[in-house]
Each structure stands twice: as C-alpha cells, then as structure tokens.
Chain A
Amino acid sequence: MKRTAILLLVTAFAGQAMAQQLREAPITPAFTPVSWDRLMNATDEPQNWLMYSGTLDSQRHTYLDQINRNNVDQLEMKWAYQIPVIDRAETTPLVVDGIMFITEAPSNLVAVDAVTGRQYWRYDHELPDDIRICCGRNNRGVAILGETLYMSTLDAHLVAIDARTGNVRWDVEVANYASGYSKTAAPLIVKDKVVTGIAGGEFGIRGFIDAYDAETGELAWRTYTTAGPDDPNVSTWSGDSWRTGGAGTWITGSYDADLDLIYWGTGNPGPDWNGDVRLGDNLYSDSALALDADTGDITWHFQFTPHDVHDYDAIQVPILADINFQGQQRKVMMWANRNAFYYTIDRTDGDFLAGKPYALQTWAQGLDADGRPIRAPGMEPTYEGVVVSPAIGGGTNWFSPAFNPQTGYFYVNAFDGEQRFFKRDEDYEEGDRFTGGGGQYIQAMDTYNSAIRAIDPATADIVWEFPIQPRSTAGIMSSAGGLLFSGSVDGYFFALDASNGRELWHMSLGARVHAAPMSFAVDGKQYVTIAAGNVVYTFGLRD
C-alpha cells in the first residue's frame, strides 16, 4: 500500500516535470553550427571557446586582449550561476556565439546566456544508485560539433545532446559502471568522430580510448591502454595482470591536423601501490600516446613512469606548440607530469628532447638520455610505509597547464608535497577498489610549498614562480593580454603578468577553485569565467 503511494507520488512528480518541459519547451537562440573546419581554426574566432582546452593544441591561451596588464585591475563580477547539486565544480564551459554550456556534478548540463548567466535549458542525466567512482562526482566539460554537444557521464555513458534544446540525440554505454568504469572528462572532436577516454584506475579496469561516430554514436575504434595478447608489449605485464591493469584515460587529449595524430595521456597501472602483482614496465600506463586519428593505432608512445607504484598518472593535457629548440624549429609536446618531472617531447616521433624536475621529488635520481627515470633506491611503498615526494596528488595533477606563444613559456600549478606510501595485498574483485595500498600526509598542508611555475620548454628550466599558500588544484589560462588567470584552494581567482609572475589582480570567491578559467567575448566585450565551489562566475571590465 505504502509502496504504491510512493510510486504514484514519484510518477506524479515525473509527470509534472515532463509537463513543465512540454509547456516551456526551452530553446537557445540560433547559432552557426560548429563545423570541423571551425574547430580546426578556433584561433580565428577567439570570441568563442569551442572545446575544453580552447584549441586542438590545448594551449589554453585566449587570443582576446581587451583585458590586459593595464586594465585587469578593473575586472568586476558580471554574473554568477549557482549549480544546484552540491559537489565540487571542475568544469570548463564552452561558449558558442553568446551561449554558454556548463557541465555540473554529477553528470548534468545546462545552457545559459553568456552575458547574463540566465538559463535556457538543462539536461539532468539519470544515474544508477551504485556508481563506482574514485574521487568525487565530477564532470569537466563537453565537446561540440554541428549543433550537438557530447558529454561523458559517471555511469560510463557518452551522451549526444541537441545544443538548442537539451534533448538527447543518442546515449551509448561505453563500459559497465558496475565493474568500476566511469567517465568525467570532456570528449575531443576529431573530424567526424567523438574521441573519449575512461576512468576507473582504482577499480582494476582495463583502460582504453574510444572514437564514436558523431552522428550515430557507433563505435569507430577502440585502443586499449594495457597491452593485450595481440600486442608484443603484453610482455611488460607479468601473467594476466594486463587484464586489471588500469591505465585510465580520464582527461582530454589534443590533436595535430598536420600529422593527423591524436595525443592522449594514460593513468596509473592497477593496483596503484602494489607492483608485485604486475611486474614489468606495464605499458601503456603512465604514458603519452600518439594515435592515428582514423584507426586509433598507436603510432608511438612515451612512458613517463615505467612500473609506477606511486599513482603518478600521466593524466595531463598534452600541450602542442612549434618552438625553437637548440636553433631548430621543432614540433613539440610539453608535459609537466604528476611524477614531478617536466618533459619536452618531439611530437612527430616521441623522442625525448629535454626534461627536469619542476617540483620536489625523491623517487628518481634523474632522467636518462631517453627520458626514462633513474629510480632512487628504497622509494617503493612498503607495508610499514615510506615517505616519498611528490605526494599521491603529484607535482601537478589533471588540472590544465597553459602555454603562451608570446612569452614562449609553459605554465603549471606545482606542489612540493610528500606522503607516506603504503602497500597491501589485495585480490581483484570486480567492481571493488583495487589499489593495493594508499598514502598519508605526514605534515600539515601549510608546511609544503606550492606555486605557479613558468618553464622554458627549450631548457626545461623554471623561469619564475608565484608562491601559493597553501596550494592550488586549479587550471591556468594564458591570454594575449599578457596575463595568466588561475585560482587556489584558499578561494582566490587571480591574474598574474605572464612574463614575470607579478600579481596584478585577485578576488576572493569564498570556495576552492578546482576548475580552469576560459575566456570569450560577446558584442565586442571580453569576459573571463571560472568555477569556484558550486558557482560559475563571469568577470568583465567595469562599464
């Protein structure tokens, strides 16, 4: 009887919501469909932010310069959008012709007016009660092609949503959430495909990168990130450990149209902290992969941390640029890794060009001529615990770095932390955590140094740093106005001079910043947007 009443009540509410949707039939203003040609030439329309990192080379650099060193102190808040589900916001919104698309925790999406923050429509993805997620109910952004948005969801689905109305075009299951798979990162559009990764490295998943037909949702190719029996590199895994070897792909990659290569990072091997059950280098965990855009075949790989036992995922956004390296113009990929080393890599063939620590590290004695780490003895996790730098969170983590073509510097939020690393014996059970250990801070967070560090990619040297207290887990955006924008866990949003790190402006937003900034313009006015706590804030110059 009671159950029937509840069912009727739920049905009534669902009916109400549907009726409201039918009554309101919300729709955005029309916009020019975002073609692949527009995405490839995103720098030609800096008023729009068309993908997670701004451009396919992922420099997270806006070519807008209306807000610049001379006037950034006149920034004021224009609007705030409150995310209704309380969790932490890690989103980078997109803006297309004055319409902003914001993803929310756990797996929702909203379209708002980019000038006012007022809502057009919202899409709430229905999730099962028993999702398996390692580290919070997050979503970091969407991709757009034509008039369709593509979003990852925590139940490991990929959903195509009509950008004008929020209606679902298709919804595919990428993997079984009950086995520990989930999805949090913004997909990347490459030609007519939606390229997307997977999370679940703490649940003994087998990682992969997928490409789906943007129109139909049909799987075009899948590339596994733990080498299986069809790959000679299966020999880098003892026994069948590749089956539960992790190597998630939970942040967005990059694309080079000239080379027709997709670049994507991979996460830790599983179990994270007990390498005894997966002897060998464990390819392709903790690696940068260059994939043929049409087939997904691995053209080359560069493994930052062979046989990782500290959870040093190579889950960073690969930044692509052409730079002068020792007198020659080189196509490079820049990468500040979670393992606390910075790398400049030739992106045509994966050759190591330069690398040095950019944050405190004790696990390696350095890098050899090929960029392979020379391990320091006694740094593997033990049953009793051993203190190692960097901490599990790394010298940096997933949050976006940036590159400024004018200064030629690469910028990263760095953390000089340490933790006591433990290992334990653990059997794999599908859907359960499979980490084989863990870590524990041994001092207060205030004890450690944290800073935005500017790195010269030609030498891997740190050029300047701006100290942050206690630390930052935010992304960085560079601008043609000579600025860097970023945030910190003490709730500040701030702007620095990109050439020397001098503080130019800051505002307290009252909550931790976990997201990365982006910029756009409407009617000739530039804006900067950042999410902090559960709020998305947009700033512009004083009128």
Chain B
Amino acid sequence: MLRLNLLQHRHLAACLPLLLAAIGSVSVPAVAQDEGNLYDTPFDVSAGESYFQRQCTRCHGQDAKGNDETGAPDLTGSLRRASSDAGIFSIIRQGIAGTAMLPVPIDTPDPTVWQLVAYINSLRTDPANIDLPGDPAAGLALYNGKGDCARCHMINGRGGRLGPDLTLVGEQLDPEELKTALTVPDEDVAPRWWTVRVTQRDGSVVEGLRMDEDTFGLRVIDADANLWSFRKNEIDSFEVNQSSTMPSYTRTLTENEIDHLVAYLFSLRKEN
C-alpha cells in the first residue's frame, strides 16, 4: 500500500476547479457604489440567510459550499468574481452572463440584496477575528522539518506533486478543517486522492493515486509520480481504496506542534 504524506481534504480539491475556472473570467462591473453595506447587522445576516435558503440553495447547496452537479461555486471561501460588497451585490443583481447564475427577480428590493451580501460575507472566516493558539513561524519550521510536508505538497511552486497544492489553503479550509485534515485524514478524502490498484491481464500490478476515472478509463500516478493510463476493457480488474494515503499526525506531532502547523497553513492566503 502506497503511503504518502498528503493533505487531501475534499473541500480543497472540490473547490479548486471552480475557483480556477473563475480566475480567467471577465469581472462584472459593479453598479452599486462601494460605500459599504448598510445592512449588515445580525438581523440582516439572518434575513439574508432566509433568502439564500429559499432562492439559492438549489445550486449553491444548503451549506453554500457549492455543488458539482450544478457547477455552482463554493461561497464560503474567497470569491474570485467579486472582491467587494458592491461586486457581490452586482453579481446577485445582474447574474453572470453565460453561466447558470441568473439575476434575482427584477422587483427584489435593494435592501434584500444587501442582506444577502451580508449573509455571504458571514460565511467566510475573517482571519483577523481568529485567535489561534499556534505560532505560524513554528509551523513553517515543522512543515519543512519534522512534518516533512514538502515531500508531497507544493507551496508557491516548491515541493512534491503527490498531494494538493497548499499555496492558498488558508482561504479554502478553516482552522478546524485543517486540524481534522492533519489528525483524521481519512475523514473526508476527495476522490482525486483515493488510491487504486490495477491488475493487468499479464498479472502485473500498478498501484497509486487515482488521478481520475471515467466510464472507459483510469489514470493512476504511482509513488514516483509516473502517470499510467488504462482502458478498463483492457485490464483484468481494479480496486479503489477511498482512505487517505496521508498518515495521521497525532502519532508524530504533539498537540502544540499540530496547533503551530494549523496556524502556518491558515496563514497561507493571497494577501500574505
């Protein structure tokens, strides 16, 4: 069984294609003046949530984390199509041309849209509001030293290719999710980081990460980062293992060290 140090959280992997798709998009011109949201009290957030539950959850999901089936993006992390309240307002008001994102009904009052903006803002974890027990600098040392994380993960183009890129992981996972990924890595493994064992017709076996599987084929990355492609009707059999290849760090790091590592990973965001 291939064992690698990986951070393989489903939310991270699930977000990436949509977020990447959004990078190249044309930004929507803001029609609202960006003078801040006057409707951002707890009452407004609650009203915005009610509206969201009714009008938006079919595509964006009950938890606003997006939906592979509808193609709707995760709204709980950084938003690539809007960087301000006015930008979010405009997307809600105008929709996004060429996508399934429709505008709200034309008679929806502006305060309702602003309440929706307030609710969407409330979904994101503002790092300024979080006081973490760990020390990011100590976490960095652990990342490169005892944790040996760079063997499998890349940050800013440096590191291994056998785990998710962590350059912006602080925007994609909150501290609790990061801690779970380090301590209970089997909890929520994205399919990209499952493993597969392929038995070929001559009896030889290829084992590695399940890069992708479709109706007719399988692609596997072995421990040396070699890519193997198979047609399903040309192999003897294959088995998929949905557990993580990353070991739990509860065995190798102390609780304090895990806190440091979480603090470092949470600091990995665009503004840093």
- Chain B residue nearest to A490 (CB atoms) is B214
Is A468 within 8 A of B100, CB to CB? Answer: no
A-B interface contact total, Cβ < 8 Å: 75
- Please name all residues of chain B whose beta carbon is closer than 8 Å to the beta carbon of A135 when the two chains form the complex: 58
Contact between chains at B106 and A445 (CB < 8 Å): no
Is there contact, CB below 8 Å, between A130 and B106?
Answer: yes
Minimum C-beta distance from B89 to chain A (A): 17
Known A129-B106, A433-B54; 19 more pairs at CB < 8 Å: A130-B105, A134-B58, A137-B100, A393-B69, A420-B62, A432-B54, A433-B55, A435-B54, A438-B57, A438-B62, A441-B67, A441-B69, A444-B10, A444-B68, A447-B242, A468-B215, A492-B214, A492-B215, A492-B216
The CA of A422 and the CA of B216, in the complex, are separated in Å by 35
19 pairs across A/B with beta carbons < 8 Å?
A86-B98, A87-B98, A129-B103, A129-B106, A135-B58, A202-B58, A422-B62, A433-B58, A441-B67, A441-B69, A445-B68, A445-B69, A446-B191, A469-B213, A469-B215, A470-B214, A488-B215, A492-B216, A494-B216
Contact A133 B68 (CB under 8 A): no
Q: Which of B68, B191, B216 contacts A506 (CB 8 A)?
A: B216
Interface centre among B55, B102, B106, B215 (most CB of A within 10 A): B215
Q: How far is the CA of A111 from the CA of B215 in the complex (A)?
A: 33
List chain B residues, Cβ under 8 A from A494.
215-216
B233 within 8 A of A: yes
**Mask: chain B, 225-237; 1 = CB below 8 Å from A; 0 = not:** 0000000010000
Which residues 478-514 of A have a CB within 8 angstroms of B? 488, 490-492, 494, 503, 506
Give complex CA distance A465, B105 in Å. 44
Range class of the A interface residue count: 35 or more
Q: Is A132 positioned at the interface, with any CB of B under 8 Å from its CB?
A: yes
CA distance A354 to B171 in the complex (A): 53
B61 within 8 A of A: yes
Task: Output the least CB separation between A272 and chain B (Å).
Answer: 10
Give the residue among B61, B62, B106 with the most A Cβ atoms within 10 A.
B62
- B69 in contact with A440 (CB, 8 Å): no
Which B58-89 residues have C-beta < 8 A from chain A? 58, 61-63, 67-69
Which residues on A sit within 8 Å (CB–CB) of B63?
Answer: 440
Asked whether any CB of chain A lies closer than 8 Å to the CB of B149, the reply is no
Interchain CA distance A393-B70 in the complex, whole Å: 11
Listed in ascending order, the chain A residues whose CB lies under 8 Å from chain B are: 86-87, 129-130, 132-137, 202, 385, 393, 420, 422, 424, 426, 431-433, 435, 438-441, 444-447, 467-470, 488, 490-492, 494, 503, 506
Partner-A contacts on B (CB < 8 A): 10, 14, 53-55, 57-58, 61-63, 67-69, 98, 100, 102-103, 105-107, 190-191, 194, 213-216, 233, 242
* Among all A-B residue pairs, the 4 with the closest Cβ atoms: A446-B191, A490-B214, A130-B106, A86-B98
* CB-defined contacts of B107 to chain A, threshold 8 Å: 130
With a cutoff of 8 Å between Cβ atoms, the chain A residues found around residue B62 in the complex are: 385, 420, 422, 438-440
What separation, in Å, do the CA atoms of A468 and B213 have in the docked complex?
10
Q: Residue A424 contacts which of B53, B106, B233, B242 (CB distance < 8 angstroms)? A: B53
Bound-state CA distance A204–B49 (Å) is 21
Residues of B within 8 A of A490 (CB): 214-215
- Quick one: which of A422, A444, A470 contacts B190, CB cutoff 8 A? A444
Cβ-defined contact, B242 with A432, below 8 A: no
In the complex, the chain B residue whose C-beta lies closest to that of A385 is B62
A136 to B14, CA, bound (A): 22
Contacting residues, chain B, for A130 (C-beta < 8 A)? 103, 105-107
Are B213 and A446 in contact (CB-based, < 8 A)?
yes
Give the contacting residue for B58; candidates A86, A438, A447; CB below 8 A: A438
Contact of A432 among B55, B61, B98, B191 (CB under 8 A): B55
Chain A residues closer than 8 Å to B102, beta-carbon distance: 133
Q: Which chain B positions have C-beta within 8 A of A136?
A: 100
A469 to B240, CA, bound (A): 13
CA distance A503 to B234 in the complex (A): 12
A75 to chain B, nearest CB (A): 15
Residue of chain A at shortest CB distance from B210: A446
Docked complex Cα distance between A503 and B214 (Å): 14
Q: A503 contacts B57, CB within 8 Å?
A: no
CB distance from A326 to the nearest CB of B (A): 36
Residues of chain B with a CB closer than 8 A to A440's CB: 61-63
Contacts of B213 in A (CB 8 A): 446, 469
- Bound: A211/B62 CA distance, A: 39
A467 to B218, CA, bound (A): 14
- Chain A residues with CB under 8 A of B214: 469-470, 488, 490-492
A87 touches B100 (CB 8 A): yes
What is the minimal beta-carbon distance from B234 to any residue of chain A, in angstroms?
11
Residues of B within 8 A of A137 (CB): 100
Kindly state the separation between the CA atoms of A441 and B213 in the bound complex, as whole angstroms. 20
Indicate if the CB atoms of A444 and B14 lie closer than 8 Å. Answer: yes
The contact of B54 among A129, A133, A426, A488, by CB within 8 Å, is A426
- Tell me which residues across on chain A come within 8 A of B215, comparing CB atoms: 467-469, 488, 490, 492, 494, 506
Chain B residues with Cβ under 8 A from A488's Cβ?
A: 214-215
- How many whole Å from B268's CB to the nearest CB in chain A? 24
Give the residue name and chain of the A residue nearest to B13 (CB): A444
Min distance, Cβ B271 to any Cβ of chain A, angstroms:
30
The answer for the CA separation of A141 and B147 in the assembled complex, in Å, is: 58
Smallest beta-carbon distance A407→chain B, Å: 22
Q: Cα distance A469–B238 when bound, in Å?
A: 14
**A329 to B: closest C-beta gap in Å:** 37
Closest-CB distance, B63 to chain A (whole angstroms):
7
Q: Which residue of B lies closest to A438 (CB)?
A: B57
Q: In the complex, what residues of A have CB within 8 A of residue B10's CB?
A: 444
Q: Which residues of the partner chain A approach B55 to less than 8 Å between Cβ atoms? A: 432-433
A431: contacting residue among B53, B100, B105, CB under 8 A: B105
Contacts of B67 in A (CB 8 A): 441
State the CA gap A422–B63 with chains docked (Å). Answer: 12
Residues in chain B near residue A503, CB distance under 8 A: 216, 233
B65, closest chain A residue (CB)? A440
Q: Kindly provide the distance from the CB of A271 to the nearest chain B CB, expressed in whole angstroms.
A: 10
Q: How far is the CB of B182 from chain A (nearest CB, A)?
A: 20
Cβ-neighbour of A444 out of B53, B105, B191 (below 8 A): B191
A439 to B106, CA, bound (A): 27
Note all chain B residues with C-beta closer than 8 A to A134: 58
Question: Which one of B55, B58, B98 has the highest number of Cβ atoms from chain A below 10 Å of its Cβ?
Answer: B58
Residues from chain A with a CB closer than 8 A to the CB of B191 are 444, 446-447
Q: Kindly list chain A residues whose C-beta atoms are within 8 Å of the C-beta of B57.
A: 438
User: Contact at A438–B216, with CB atoms within 8 Å?
Assistant: no
Measured CA separation A336–B181 after assembly (Å): 41
A441 neighbours in B (Cβ, 8 Å): 61, 67-69
Chain A residues whose CB sits within 8 angstroms of the CB of B242 once the complex forms = 447
Question: Whose C-beta in chain A lies nearest to the C-beta of B67?
Answer: A441
Give Cα A116–Cα B100 distance, bound, in whole angstroms: 31
